[in-house]
Amino acid sequence: MSQHEPDTQGEKGKPKPPKVYKLNVQGVTIEMVEPSILVRKAMELAGFDTTHEWIIILRLKGEPKRAVTLDTTIDLTDPGVEKLRLTPKQISNGEAIARRREFDLLTADAAYLDGAGHRWETFDEGGVRWLLIHDYPAPAGYHQSHVDLALQVPLTYPATQIDMFYCHPDLSLRSGAPIAQTECRVTCGGRNFQRWSRHRPDGTWDRFKDNVVTHLTLVDESLCREVGQ
């Protein structure tokens, strides 16, 4: 080997092992040496049937989730690529029920919720404005796979921040460990919701950048933190 040739061998003359990329597909971790992969291929490697209809969400750390398709290419070299979340597309009698829209969200909020395949509604209950997202996926590690997720939307939103979030039914860990600051219950739509007291640092809400979409990243990070994800 000349002095101009790079040393591609490791210690004691052994070739360096190739870089391995990992991707979590609905709780199944797959490994590959290629720096990119089609969503379709990733799901097949993880054992999921791609002939079924799925709502597929790509989760990136610190960023809003985004909906992707089977033909989307995931660049695994991008910082923050973490996992694919899968939810079966279902049509049930509940789909035929008119969804309440008693107040409007921001255009970006509604576009995101619709694009991600969420079933959602807004309503006012005793002067408290609620956004209710049905069948919101919970990460592996909880007894529940989905919950109804509620957010209180202040009258002066987005000038005033969204704070905390609420789950029905109560989320509990498979490990049996308690979840701090979830003891309080709040009535929403005639049901008791488990309040997750999770807050942004004071002064970090930006009325021009933050919204329902960015608050859902706080929700996801809070849920994942409890199960070590």
Q: Mean pLDDT throughout 6-23?
A: 68
pLDDT in the model for residue 198: 94
pLDDT range class, residue 25, cuts 50, 70, 90:
confident
pLDDT in the model for residue 197: 96
**Single-letter amino acid code for the residue at 29:** T
Domains and CATH numbers, the chain: 17-88 (2.40.240), 97-226 (3.10.110)
**Single-letter amino acid code for the residue at 173:** L
Q: Which residue has the higher pLDDT, 120 or 63?
A: 120
pLDDT in the model for residue 90: 56
Place of tokens 């592996």: 140
Percent of the chain predicted with pLDDT > 70: 88
| Orientation of helix 107-115 relative to helix 212-226, angle to 10° | 50
pLDDT range class, residue 89, cuts 50, 70, 90:
low
How far apart are alpha carbons 120 and 210 in whole angstroms? 19
Nearest to 108 by CA among 221, 217, 210, 219: 210
pLDDT in the model for residue 121: 94
**Single-letter amino acid code for the residue at 119:** R
**Single-letter amino acid code for the residue at 65:** K
Nearest to 207 by CA among 134, 66, 106: 106
pLDDT in the model for residue 94: 46
pLDDT in the model for residue 81: 65
pLDDT range class, residue 130, cuts 50, 70, 90:
very high
